[in-house]
Amino acid sequence: MVKLNIVGVGPGSADYVPPIVHRIVLGAHIVIGAQRSLDLFRGNVSGETHVLTAKNIDGLLSYAVESSKKGRSVVILSTGDPGFSGLLKSVLNTKLITSAEINVVPGVSAIQACAARLGLCWDEACLFTFHQGNVSDDRKIELLACLKAGRDVILFPDANFFLPKEIAAYLINSGFDQNMLVFICENLTLDNERIVKSSLKDVLTVDFNALCVMVIKAKREAV
């Protein structure tokens, strides 16, 4: 069975792209991904390349699926890991392909890179993604429940609908200590990486890059 390859390209730096991904990309007829993902393989792609955007995602994913079913080797580049706030869900949601027809190659998520930078054990943390407007009331209530249970939270904010400052305001308005310890990790693994140690109240007044991870320390002392 010919399979569609969905590969994780890590949090940003080429150093975090695994060798297996380079091999798959090098042998592909078609490579699809965001421009910053394609840039990681500049000069190493022999097949077609297509820049994936919010406007053309449905059409390109359909093209990828149909091409793979015709026997062409297709690779979709997913930032981070395909299975966590990545492109695996988008492909499965097309209803044109099953999980049995997909070859998923894991990547390093920015969540993992963030935990590593901060020296955190994250096996008991609550993980959330609010990317692409995934900001329902139910998800917000789950966030509150995790913190009330004393569990640290690691999350992807949404750059348009749920910014770090909006998350901080929501938590303060929900009764949490405004001095609760928070970390914001921006541009992880890139040359302009920045890690900010702060508090909920101080996050209220700061704008952060869209490529960031927010850590809320329920179990640690306040700032």
pLDDT string in tens for the chain (223-residue length): 568 999 999 999 999 999 999 999 999 999 999 999 999 999 889 999 999 998 999 999 999 999 998 999 999 999 999 999 999 999 998 888 888 899 999 999 999 999 999 999 999 999 999 987 778 899 999 999 999 999 999 999 998 889 999 999 999 999 999 999 999 999 999 999 999 999 999 999 999 988 999 999 996 655 5
Tell me which of 76, 92, 108 is where a domain ends.
Answer: 108
* Same domain assignment for residues 78 and 20: yes
Taking the alpha carbons at both ends of the chain, their separation in whole angstroms is 55
| Helix, strand, coil in percent for the chain, rounding step 5 | 35, 25, 40
The pTM (predicted TM-score) of the whole model is 0.91
Residues 72 and 116 in one domain: no
* Nearest CA among 107, 132, 113 for reference residue 9: 107
In angstroms, the CA 161 to CA 172 distance is 18
Which among 46, 75, 108 is the end of a domain?
108
Q: Domain range spanning residue 133?
A: 111-216
Q: How many residues does the chain have?
A: 223
Coil, strand or helix at 131: helix
Counting Cβ atoms within 10 Å, is residue 135 exposed (0-12), middle (13-18) or buried (19+)? middle
- Domain assignment present for residue 148? The answer is yes
> Among positive and negative, which fits the CA dihedral 206, 153, 122, 151?
positive
Query: Do 193 and 150 lie in a common domain?
Result: yes
